[in-house]
Structure 1
């Protein structure tokens, strides 16, 4: 147990309070470099953000009538205790021929699939809810007469709930009654009526097994949604809502759609807000989270967003809609240190971007509510995408997958001339320091040269030296600690997500228990993704 009585640095302690020398209290979770929260000094290094690598083909495509023309990631992927993956996803049937006189016509359907390896998926015959004359469906929620459209939903398994019948929780946006009209250009297809729609709102469902669900009778969040936004300002929330359970604060958090509330902005301009709840039923008033900025690309709107606990911080994906140009949606990375105040990371560059138009992966990207799934030493991001942008037909799409190195969102890069970073003062519980780093091999890299008369003249090849990462330990006042100098450290020279750091006379940090320290990383031809101080020892 850590017992020192000191003031520790927190995110909200800004100037005029001088906090740069206040220690951070860290546990055994990975410390990432997406922001500069933990960094006090940098020299001769650069921060590089990384994108996950996409699989060439979707892992899930529509094949049944109730899945329509596209499988959307308006749902959740959960890793079960057995390791099997359970995917709750949406089928988009709005472009399928329908009979409006038929009972319970809906534009979206709610489906389940399973996978043992995350690549090959099985759509089980649940035998629960028919679709037309088919009873062999994987539908887990039936069509309802008062719900024309099920919009984005989130599933949470809450093992702490004392009521077994409420441990599985789901939030679903209902678009309400009488939303659909015949398409005047093609009576076999449908369009949306202008509204308002009776029964529209965000609803809670509860389940004991994640298959059989009971609906809470009243909306847990209201909505004044209409196609033409007849009421302004819009009461309640819009339809694209994602919910997480915040394990650090023991709260349910909803990332909801609002419409830009600033004077002079279009009433239809999409933005993001945040609500919180202790019981999944009663929620706080939405608080603005993200608004498009003046220096964003023209026409950028925020169509959706997610959030999740990740190691020592919070991360999430922000769905950005290019409404003024191609109508494509892509993801930006967002981060937070307290789960309430969020920032757009990676210089607002795409985290998961778009493929060329006409290929699945190009257009309407949809987001699951869950964190990335850890598979071995990788993070797997499932997402939906279509061939073209929002409202561009045909809407043909499926579920895609992109993979990222564990903790691989950002790295501190050192070149051939050694660079370094120094952390803020740290108080810690553990003993074993590990780093996630990528030292590079020796070899011939790049070209040297000079500029003569405005032209680049090639003069040779650089012989790059092998990379390494060395860790030096300082006291809180930047003084070296004997036995933990750079000359004492055994260099890390191999790619590893958790390389133990050792010194010639110290296998771990046991000798520094109870001390406040700084870590100085010397980085040569290598990238440093994260570090952690774990509870164990190398001995």
Structure 2
């Protein structure tokens, strides 16, 4: 068998096209920080959170002081109860996403409506026929805001829903949908700049799973033709961390010897978004308890990536044989690889459902289940925690009780990155903490997110804890501000350029001064541009 010879000019054209693709896909590398102990590379900034005991592992005379977020009493988004034909007539579940994008806040959320949509195609009607309850999950919806507090539901004109296209629902090829988790990344193909992982049921299997879609603008979506993972999958979040796409979901994981463990958190992984591993990793699990009245991990971890660290919330699902008695609080988690999460303080409740309660219905009060997703957003000096408060009126519901089913989007806030602090333990007057080893770029600066920063000094050592004389002891770095979210540290030696390419550790000392109590929330390593 012979093959036709390709002319030389065509080979040259092919070479140029390939070179263009490589150039497009591989922009010049940014200066980055590398953490040998975790295998994570990040640019142009690394964040060493006080709650991250892998980044700040060695401590003396210090302890954690975890923060309590401030909860906005009023919701930021509610169902459209004025219109029974609205896609979000019953609920606005925040198993969704908030991004600060294009100078505004953008939200994708999971609505619920009452009664099936008569305008579905025959294929979607066939899917929906398998769902026997009056409360219908979906469609996914979209909202916008200038300040993240007051939201508008734009008329997208996409989906024919109960006789109208004048609403904010997205048109997707599934009748039963939820979990609107969106990532915007630097994909060189602009038609794939936004990526969506959403929940679907009876599409194509008789259990919940995940489908994926891409979009140039976050509004018009092209779904992949089939689910990428053949498994039961209900997810809380979707994020990109250390070069991997990760979906964090709940699963009914088996324990030792096949024992029942109830709902637990698992992570599903993809290198490129299109192809997903069929083997999940345990992401976070609570101790197994034999009886049904127990705590479980509901829908996995709602996580956000901050380069070298991911912070997440999980719903502590207080399970009960009587569904109407179930409530859910938030626990706080941290991870370095974005897959395996841990509690900074085991068993700590970060936010109680009673601190962000769903509204009563007349004289009827119901338990609240807090819902976490892609809702952790850093904007300016604030960390925002969008979540929802699901009014658990029981399940299933029929007749007028259907109207008691409700969920609204809520907001809790912290000063930026102040999830918790390291501070002097009671009766201690001085203490210190070592960082994990990190390889520095060509030049960088160090900032502290701290109260009482003027009571702190910073030394630099090699990876084996040998202090570097130009940056330690009498030559230690000192913050130039007394406290704040970004207190720059300066060394008498000046620039850290001589440490380019070296693996170093940072050692932060703190001392009490009168009634002033130092608190360290984060250390920022920022590459010079």
Identify the structure with the greater helix proportion: 2
C-alpha displacement of 1:119: 0.9
2:422 counterpart (405, 412, 417): 412
Q: Which runs of 5+ in 1 are unaligned?
A: 13-23, 178-195, 223-235, 441-466
Identify the residue that residue 343 of structure 1 maps to in structure 2.
342
Distance in structure 1 (CA, Å) of the matches to 2:191 and 2:493: 52
**Structure 1 pair 221–506 and aligned structure 2 pair: CA distance change class (3 A):** same
Instruction: State how 1:18-57 maps to structure 2 within 5 Å.
Output: 28-39=45-56, 41-57=58-74
Residue in structure 2 matched with residue 386 of structure 1 by the alignment = 390
In 1, are the aligned partners of 2:435 and 2:505 still within 8 Å (CA)? yes
What's the CA shift for 1:518?
4.1
* 1:97-131 CA distance string (max 9 Å, x none): x3798865643222110011111111111122233
- The aligned runs of 1:84-123 (5 Å cut-off) are 84-93=104-113, 96=114, 98=115, 104=125, 106-123=136-153
Identify which of 508, 511, 518 aligns with 1:526. 518
Q: Deviation of residue 273 (structure 1)?
A: 1.9
TM-score (norm 2): 0.74
SS of the residue corresponding to residue 42 of structure 1 reads strand
Residues 515 and 206 (structure 1 numbering): CA distance in 2 closer, same or farther, change over 3 Å?
Answer: closer
Match of 1:68 among 89, 96, 116: 89
Distance 1:491 1:158 in 2: 34
Cα deviation 1:260-297 (Å, max 9, x = unaligned): 31268776922222221234333212233333304899
Q: 1:369 to 1:423 in 2, by over 3 A?
A: closer
> Helix, strand or coil: the match of 1:165?
helix
CA contact (8 A) 1:273 1:290 kept: yes
Alignment of 1:306-345 (within 5 A): 306-324=302-320, 326-345=325-344
1:300 correspondence with 2:295: yes
Using the alignment, how far apart are the partners of 2:145 and 2:290 within structure 1? 39
CA contact (8 A) 2:208 2:233 kept: no
User: 1:463 corresponds to which residue?
Assistant: none
Residue in 2 that maps onto 1:192? none
TM-score relative to the length of structure 1 = 0.73
Q: Which runs of 5+ in 2 are unaligned?
A: 1-27, 129-135, 361-365
- Residue 358 (structure 2) pairs with residue 364 (structure 1): no
Structure 2: distance between partners of 1:403 and 1:483 = 36
- CA shift at 1:520, angstroms? 2.9
Q: Which moved more, 1:206-215 or 1:360-369?
A: 360-369
The 3-state SS of whatever aligns with 1:319 is strand
8 Å CA contact 2:456, 2:478 repeated in 1: no
**Are the counterparts in 2 of residues 468 and 492 from structure 1 also a CA contact under 8 Å?**
no
Contact 1:362 1:385 survives alignment (8 Å): no
Q: Determine if contact 2:439/2:504 at 8 Å carries over to the other structure.
A: yes
Question: What does 1:419-458 correspond to in 2, within 5 Å?
Answer: 419-424=431-436, 426-429=438-441, 430-439=443-452
Q: Does the aligned pair in 2 maintain the 1:25–1:426 contact within 8 Å? A: no
SS at match of 1:10: coil
Give the distance between the partners of 2:271 and 2:229, measured in 1 at CA.
Answer: 14
Q: Does 1:169 align with 2:195?
A: yes
Cα pair distance change 1:88/1:500, threshold 3 Å: same
1:145-294 to 2 correspondences below 5 Å: 147-162=174-189, 164-176=190-202, 201-222=209-230, 236-240=231-235, 242-246=237-241, 248-249=242-243, 251-262=244-255, 269-285=262-278, 286-294=280-288
In the superposition, relative to structure 1, how do residues 482 and 329 fare at CA in structure 2: closer, same or farther (>3 Å)? same
RMSD value, Cα: 3.7
Could you say which residue in structure 2 is the equivalent of 1:443? none
